[in-house]
Amino acid sequence: MAQICIIEDDPAFSAALQRIMSQEHTVHVFQTVPEDAEQIISLKPDLIFLDCMLPGETGPHFLHRLRSDDRTREVAVILMSAYHEMMDEAKQTNDEYQEFLKKPCTIRQVMALVQRYLNRGIATS
């Protein structure tokens, strides 16, 4: 079973993602980065769904921290945002993420991303 982290400050959206993915994977949900950063990194997840706009630290900034740590350097990261202009900020991370997921999204989109990054060996379980 793969370890998936959802870092999302909208409780309804993170609960929906958790319901979708927890049938086949172990899913950990976090709402903030500064308080939870070490726990997220120490889990060494196989896949991370990371919201771009979080209280305390932006998703792209935290992504840079993930890539700077040996434990999470190779983890597949899906950036997410309801604000499509955040894609421009995300592009400034020099492609440190695998995909950008525009919210709202469908179950099919989420599961396709999970399958793509866990089954292709980009993320290991």
**pLDDT tens digits, 4-28:** 999 999 999 999 999 999 999 999 9
Confidence of residue 125 (pLDDT cuts 50, 70, 90): very low
Contact in structure between 36 and 77 (CB atoms under 8 Å): no
Provide the token pair at 3: 């370890």
CATH class for the domain made up of 3-119: alpha beta
H-helix or E-strand spanning residue 48: strand 47-51
Residue type, 57: E
Does residue 74 surpass a pLDDT of 60? yes
* Domain spans in the chain, listed from the N-terminal domain onward: 3-119
What backbone torsions phi and psi does residue 80 show, to the nearest 5 degrees? -135, 145
pLDDT digits (tens, 9 = 90+) for 25-67: 999 999 988 888 999 999 999 999 999 999 888 888 899 899 9
DSSP lists the bridge partners of residue 81 as: 102
